[in-house]
Structure formats: C-alpha cells, structure tokens
Structure 1
Amino acid sequence: MDILEAIILGIIQGLTEFLPVSSSGHLELAKEILGVTIEKNKNITFTVVLHFATALSTLIIFRKEVLEILKGLFQFKWNEEFKFSLKIIISMIPAVVVGLLFKEELESFFDGKILLVGCMLLLTALLLLFADKAKETNKKVSFWNSIIIGISQAIAMLPGISRSGATISTSVLLGIDRTRAARFSFLMVVPLIFGAIGKDVVSDDLSFQSSDLLPFSVGFFAAFLAGLIACKLMISLVKKSKLSYFSIYCAIVGSIAIGYALLN
C-alpha cells in the first residue's frame, strides 16, 4: 500500500463511517478496485488506525455530550445524564456479544466478498428508504429502544450494511426524533471502537513496521479530517430528512458490486 492508496482509503473510511453507506463495504470495494493487498495482521492494524481516527473526530464533534455521559456515570444519581449513559452501555451489548462469539466468522466476510457487500448495500438502501418515509416525532430513546438499536448495530457488523444507516434508520422507525437518533447513533459506537482497539493492542493480531509509519499516518489524518466533515454533514442531512439520497446511492453501488462479482 502506497501513500496515495492510504489517503484514498482514509478518506473513504472517514466519510463512510458517518454517512449511511457502509464504511466496511466501501473499503472492501476500494481495495478491490485499487488492487490493494495487505497481509492480514497489517490490514487489521490499518483498520484500527482508521477507526481510531474516526472515533477521535466523533469525540471532538460531540465533546459536550461525551462530558455529560461521563459526568452522568460518575454521579450515580438517577438523572437524565445517568440514564442516557446506561442506554449507551446497553446498546453496546449485542455488538460485543456477536463480536466475541463470532469473531472468526465475521473476519471471513472481509476478504473480497464483493457479492455479499453488494447484497447488503441493497438491504441498506431499502432500510434507508423506509426510514426516510417515517413520520417525524419528538420521542426520546428509551431503554427498550437502546436494545433494539444495539441489535441493529450488531447486524451492521456485516460488510455492506451501514452501521450509522442501520442504527439511525432503526431509531427513526421506532419513532425517535431524528436529531436524537443521529446523536445516539454516533455516540454509541465510540466505546465499542476504543474497546476493540484496546483488545487488538493487547492481542497478537497487530503487525507494524517502520515502513508502515508514513502510509498509516496519512491514512489516519485523512480519515480524521474526512470524519469531521462527514459527521457534521450527516447530522444536518438527517434533520432535513434526506436519507433517500443515500438510499439511491447504496442501491446503485450495490447493483454495480453485484454485477462486478458475477462477471468476475
């Protein structure tokens, strides 16, 4: 992987982590198109670097909300901040369980499975279309809602299903206010990302050499800057009920991916 490829992959990760078009699916497609081949452990390391960049951009955009969550956790009072913090924790449980129990099975899907990516992108398109037609409400996220949204996040671990698309769409279909849905969606993944990074760091799955420093660094900064832009953009678009645009995009890219996979 050269510098330009690292920048392109970083930008794709940063944009698609927040836009409902599947970051994992787009990374797999980009690697296939660019002909990028990275050995397994280095690929995991690069993925960790990119996810850390987007998690950092989330913390910056939602710094006030993150401080409220931390404050709520350590106050140990049954107030809104503490309840919101519990909902974030509850939403993480399905993805943690799936990630621990089916780690190898999930990793096998991230190996050029372009047909799978295409099919899952079509599913994402359908989900976004339904969510875009949902009526607007002022409903908050309940504890039961957080479990259902967490299940949708676990399902979105498959390449091609957008995590933000699945969680925001599920929230909107449950009748939750669109702004609250986007906020909850972006905040609920941050602890998971840092938890996964910590797990990979203490394991033997990571591989890094001095020659990787430059491409990994530019990939990190590309993902971080793109993530800042995409996060702000997505919040604005969700408020304006523009999910149908991404539904069309996912349907087009998914169809192209399926066609590509069947012809090769």
Structure 2
Amino acid sequence: MDILSSIIMGIIEGLTEFLPVSSTGHMILTADLLGLNTENDTVKTFEVIVQLGAVMAVVVLYWRRFLSLFDFRRRTSSQPRLNLLHIILAMIPAGLIGVLFRDVIKQYLFGPETVLYSLVIGGLLMIAAEKFHPPIKSQTIDDITYKQAFTIGLFQVLALWPGFSRSGSTMSGGLFARVSHTAAAEFTFLVSVPVMLGASGIDMIKSMDHLSMSDFPVFAAGFITAFIVGMLAIKTFLGLLKRLSLTSFAIYRFVLAAVFFFIIL
C-alpha cells in the first residue's frame, strides 16, 4: 500500500462506517478497484487500524455519554436512563455468533460477490422496516428499553455478513422494535465501539507479527483520515435522518451493487 491508497481507504471507511451502506462492503470493493490484495497480511492489518480511527470518532463525540453509562446511581425522570446493561444486551447476540463462527465468516463471506448480494438483501430489509414497522414509542436514546436493546442486538448479527451494514441492520431492528431513526442511530454508534474494539483487538493480536515501522506512515494516514472523516460523517448522518428515510439509502445500495456487478463480475 502507499499513502494515497491509505487516504482513499480512510475516507471510504470514515464516510461509510456509520451510514447504513456497509463500510466493510465498501472497503472490500474499493480495495478491489485499487488493486489491493485483501489476503495480504499488511492490507488486513491496515483495515483493522483504519477501522479503529472511525471508532475513535465515536469515542470523542460521545465521551460524556460513555461516562454516564457507568453511573449506576438512582436516576430521576429528568436524568439519562440508558446504562451499561443496554449496551451489553445489544452486544451479546453478535458477540457470541462472531466468536463462534469468526473463521467461517472470514472464509466464506468476505469477498466482492458476497458483498453485492448482501447490499441488495440489506437494502430490502431497510425498505421493509420503513414500510411495515409499528408505531414508534421510543423517541430518544434514553427511552430505549432493555427488550428493545436486545432486539436491536439480534438484528446486529446480520452485520457479520459484510455488506449488510451494522447501522442498516440495527436501525431496521430499531424501527421494528418501535425505536425512532435518530435514537436507533445513536444507540448503534455507542454499541459499535465495544463491538468494533473487541473484533479489532482479536485481529490486531493475530496481526502483530506483520507490523513493522516501515508501515507506520501508511497506517497513520489511514487512521487519521478515517477519524476526521468519521466525525464529520456522524454529524452529517444525524442531520440527514431528519430528511431522508432508510429507503433512500437502500436505493443507493441497489445502484452500488448494480454498478459493481458489471465492474467486478
């Protein structure tokens, strides 16, 4: 990899990590266009590093909210009600499936062709969630119940298939669980941090032997780019949710899949 490829991949990761369009899918497709070998150990390690840059964007923007999760004092009706148990309940399904079937997922689902399929199927789920979800009950992130948190976590399992999108699957699950678009999106941001840190941590441990100081400039460029673009993308996405439905993002996914179908296949 070179610096230019690193920056391009960082921009793609930062833009797509928190949008319901699948960052992993975009990274796989972009790497294919750039001629990068995704089986190469250096490229695999870079993908972990650049994802951590996007994670740090959430940590910086929501640090007060993260601290409040560890406040277990009795709360009044005017204080935040979201706590650490909500996050844990949402993490359990994908965490278990991810640990048990990690190697199978990596072997069979990480490829351009499988990404194209999941882009379409994930888009169909998002349209179904928009059209058939029951009336919304939880308008803010502090209105989310434990049952709703676990339901969103069940839908997050779908995001283990690259191309499905974590935010797309969890926001769809949120709508079916009667959670508003914005609340589901913000909850997804919070849940993504421990999930991504855990997954990235495992990958980093396995990649330690492939790290070298000569790769530092490339890795640093991707990390910083993903961090900065990720912060801008989160703010922009929350604003877009007030004007656009998930159907708009689903249409984008269909168009992207069609374009890459003719480029790759």
TM-score (norm 1): 0.88
Contact 1:118 1:256 in 2 (8 A): no
Equivalent pairs, count:
258
Contact 2:12 2:23 in 1 (8 A): yes
Cα distance in structure 2, aligned partners of 1:109 and 1:3: 30
Contact 1:109 1:158 in 2 (8 A): no
Contact 1:120 1:254 in 2 (8 A): no
Whichever residue aligns with residue 113 of structure 2, its letter is L
Q: How does 1:64-103 map to 2 (within 5 A)?
A: 64-72=64-72, 75=73, 84-103=83-102
After superposition, the Cα gap between the structure-2 partners of 1:114 and 1:203, relative to the gap in structure 1 and judged at 3 Å, is closer
Cα distance in structure 2, aligned partners of 1:38 and 1:181: 32
After superposition, the Cα gap between the structure-2 partners of 1:255 and 1:205, relative to the gap in structure 1 and judged at 3 Å, is farther
Give unmatched runs, 5+ long, in structure 2: none
Answer yes or no: is 1:165 the counterpart of 2:168.
Answer: yes
Displacement of 1:218: 0.4
Cα distance in structure 1, aligned partners of 2:56 and 2:71: 19
Cα distance in structure 1, aligned partners of 2:205 and 2:61: 28
Give the SS at the match of 1:18: coil
Show the counterpart of 2:44: 44
Which stretch shows the higher mean deviation, 190-199 or 154-163? Answer: 190-199
Show the counterpart of 1:224: 227
Contact 1:172 1:178 in 2 (8 A): yes
Cα distance in structure 2, aligned partners of 1:17 and 1:206: 27
Whichever residue aligns with residue 197 of structure 1, its letter is S
Cα distance in structure 2, aligned partners of 1:230 and 1:83: 24
Show the counterpart of 1:176: 179
Answer yes or no: is 1:249 the counterpart of 2:248.
Answer: no
After superposition, the Cα gap between the structure-2 partners of 1:209 and 1:123, relative to the gap in structure 1 and judged at 3 Å, is same
Give unmatched runs, 5+ long, in structure 1: none
Which stretch shows the higher mean deviation, 246-255 or 102-111? Answer: 102-111
Displacement of 1:128: 2.3
Cα distance in structure 2, aligned partners of 1:2 and 1:179: 37
Cα distance in structure 2, aligned partners of 1:38 and 1:246: 26
Show the counterpart of 1:192: 195
Cα distance in structure 1, aligned partners of 2:184 and 2:136: 11
Displacement of 1:96: 1.2
Please give the root-mean-square deviation of Cα atoms over the aligned residues, in Å: 2.2
Show the counterpart of 2:33: 33
Displacement of 1:204: 5.3
